[in-house]
A and B are shown apart, each in its own frame.
Chain A
Amino acid sequence: MTLLQVRGVTKEFVTRGEGTMARKSVFTAVDDVSFEVELGETLAIVGESGSGKSTTARIAARLLEPTAGTVVFDGQDVTRARGKELASFRNNVQVVFQDPFSSLNPRYTVERIITAPLTYQGITPKGGRRAFTQELMERVGLNPDHCRRYPAQFSGGQAQRIGIARALAVNPKLVICDEAVSALDVSIQAQVLELLMRLQRESGFSYVFIAHDLAVVRQISQRVAVMNRGRIVEVGTRDQVFGDPQDEYTKTLLAAVPRINPEWDARRRGKRAS
């Protein structure tokens, strides 16, 4: 079942100099981008800085309105959704951002952060807020006894788990991860990636996974879209894109990824296995 359809989306930003007669110029951040996300799958959007991947994510999350094109979620056109319609969309689509510390309110406790989406809708979870929060914290691998703490009392990896728990509070069908593991150290990054995959297996929602790191994308995605200068230059299954890239830019990108000397790596694994 197709969960999200992004059709011909374009986003232009108008930059304007100062003064009454200054020239305007238009910058096209996203240029006629279309893709689909199936229920339960992970679509990764990769690209370098300025490729338009984050703008695309924001449009898909309805945090930005496109200049042209449509966003269809669950059969409903939500491109210009307002009020109730938008609220129900937000109930189904959640975002996890890159920097957990700047995207979590530092003055709120974890409990208040995680239950905020419910509070806004006037829902009291079964068994009360405390139990609800603690259950979610346990699911994302946090100590439930810490539900009265503030974000600053957690490490970067733990704070990102809070961000993930908050996204899951409304039981969404789609979670958009915008560079969600990019700021984390490798050891933490691997754990958070594992967590994201486990949660998906448990709940069956979809991910749109925005990242610049191809190796990370390869771990988590089923399908991959490669963006360059506002356009999708290649889209396909993970093995197609990584194993047999068709587009020149994709090939350049793949070739540029630094690799641990494969010979050394193989020797290490050989030793470990024996």
Chain B
Amino acid sequence: MSGELFVVDNLTVTLPTSRGPVDVVKNVSFTVGRDETVGIVGESGSGKSMTALAVLGLLPRGARTSGSVRLDGAELLGRSDRDLRSVRGNAISMVFQDPLSSLNPYYTVGLQIEEMYRTHRGGTRRAARRVAIEALERVHIPDAARRVDHYPHQFSGGMRQRVMIAMALCCSPSLLIADEPTTALDVTVQAQILELLGELQSTTGTGMMFITHDLAVISSIAQRVLVMQAGDPVEYGTAEQVFSDPRHEYTRMLLDAVPRIDDEVLS
């Protein structure tokens, strides 16, 4: 296990609420290897997004964590905010659900990529700008040299998510956390973004933690799957095992509930 890129071991996240502290993530453990995609799937309130935020220390104020989160053997949990800055965006970066609200409307996409690159790698604006253009080209944004000076609202939904991905990958992180990256997108665009993520992963070897509520999406992208329900990890295994031979009742129920496009109909 020590050879794994990313290890989450017995992670528990406790949030303060008006009714006292609540464990929103309970004893979650999983690993992500280089080149590997691990899917975390669950319905709303399952704690899947909290798991992701806990990794980067982005939890809401007052949250407490226990357990261990290690990247290349180095412990991340309990580190100071200042200390985690060198990890965020650099070794581990994140792509969020809604690309329009996740990009700052006041700045060009170029600047938003450049500021991140220069924070971690330094160098001149000119050099960072070249990196930004290359990053946009890598995610197949046409006419990147011109588009780099455009604002987020001038892009379509799918193109915006490409920008987010370009940004996330510009410092060559070893782990990418994608939190519902295709949920806000149309299905045709979703297919393109999933394809892009697969392609980028095969060229960069980045490990990926892919969070979604959509079992069909998980099935097409993940090698291993963790199913969560109300903060509990209910099932963890290879995608093939979870989908073809689910051990837990909840997983079976979820799989039965997914409406199918190809076979038998409910009524």
A64 at the interface (CB under 8 A from B): no
A18 at the interface (CB under 8 A from B): no
Residues in B32-48 with C-beta less than 8 Å from chain A: 43-44
Interface secondary structure of A, over-half rule: helix
**Which residues of the partner chain A approach B1 to less than 8 Å between Cβ atoms?**
none
Taking a contact as CB atoms under 8 Å apart, the answer to whether A262 and B44 are in contact is: no
B261 at the interface (CB under 8 A from A): yes
Taking a contact as CB atoms under 8 Å apart, the answer to whether A215 and B194 are in contact is: no
* Distance in Å: Cβ of A205 to nearest Cβ of chain B: 16
What 1/0 flags go to A205-227 for Cβ under 8 Å of B?
Answer: 00000001111101110000000
Stretch at the interface among B62-70, B170-178, B252-260: B252-260
Q: Which residue of A lies closest to B187 (CB)?
A: A256
A242 at the interface (CB under 8 A from B): yes
Taking a contact as CB atoms under 8 Å apart, the answer to whether A186 and B187 are in contact is: no
The CA-CA distance from A271 to B247 in the complex, in Å, is 12
Taking a contact as CB atoms under 8 Å apart, the answer to whether B257 and A187 are in contact is: yes
Assuming the A-B contacts A48-B188, A193-B266, A219-B259, are A264 and B219 also in contact, with contact meaning beta carbons closer than 8 angstroms in the complex?
yes
The CA-CA distance from A193 to B216 in the complex, in Å, is 19
Q: Pick 19 A–B contacts, CB within 8 A, sort by A.
A: A185-B43, A185-B213, A189-B259, A193-B259, A197-B267, A212-B186, A215-B259, A215-B260, A218-B260, A256-B187, A258-B190, A258-B194, A259-B260, A260-B260, A261-B220, A264-B239, A264-B244, A267-B245, A271-B245
The 3 closest A-B pairs by CB, nearest first: A258-B216, A48-B186, A185-B43
Assuming the A-B contacts A185-B43, A219-B259, are A260 and B243 also in contact, with contact meaning beta carbons closer than 8 angstroms in the complex?
yes
Taking a contact as CB atoms under 8 Å apart, the answer to whether B187 and A214 are in contact is: yes
**Which residues of the partner chain A approach B217 to less than 8 Å between Cβ atoms?**
258
The CA-CA distance from A218 to B264 in the complex, in Å, is 10
Taking a contact as CB atoms under 8 Å apart, the answer to whether A268 and B244 are in contact is: yes
Taking a contact as CB atoms under 8 Å apart, the answer to whether B245 and A190 are in contact is: no
**Which residues of the partner chain A approach B191 to less than 8 Å between Cβ atoms?**
255-256, 258
* Distance in Å: Cβ of B153 to nearest Cβ of chain A: 15
**Which residues of the partner chain A approach B244 to less than 8 Å between Cβ atoms?**
263-265, 267-268, 271
Could you list which residues of chain B lie within 8 angstroms of chain A, going by C-beta atoms?
43-44, 157, 186-191, 194, 213-217, 219-220, 239-240, 243-246, 252-262, 265-267
Q: Besides the contacts A186-B259, A264-B240, A268-B245, what 12 more A-B pairs have beta carbons closer than 8 Å?
A: A48-B189, A49-B186, A185-B213, A186-B257, A216-B259, A218-B259, A253-B188, A257-B261, A259-B220, A260-B243, A267-B244, A268-B255
Name B243's contact: one of A193, A218, A265 (CB within 8 Å): A265
Could you list which residues of chain A lie within 8 angstroms of chain B, going by C-beta atoms?
48-49, 156, 185-190, 193-194, 197, 212-216, 218-220, 242, 252-265, 267-268, 271-272
Assuming the A-B contacts A186-B215, A268-B243, are A218 and B265 also in contact, with contact meaning beta carbons closer than 8 angstroms in the complex?
yes
Name B219's contact: one of A219, A254, A261 (CB within 8 Å): A261
The CA-CA distance from A188 to B258 in the complex, in Å, is 10
Q: Which residue of B lies closest to A216 (CB)?
A: B259
**Which residues of the partner chain B approach A272 to less than 8 Å between Cβ atoms?**
252
Name B216's contact: one of A218, A242, A260, A268 (CB within 8 Å): A260
* Distance in Å: Cβ of B254 to nearest Cβ of chain A: 6
Q: Which residue of B lies closest to A185 (CB)?
A: B43
Q: Which residue of B lies closest to A217 (CB)?
A: B259
Taking a contact as CB atoms under 8 Å apart, the answer to whether B188 and A252 are in contact is: yes
Listed residue (A212, A213, A256) with the most chain B CB atoms within 10 angstroms of its CB: A256
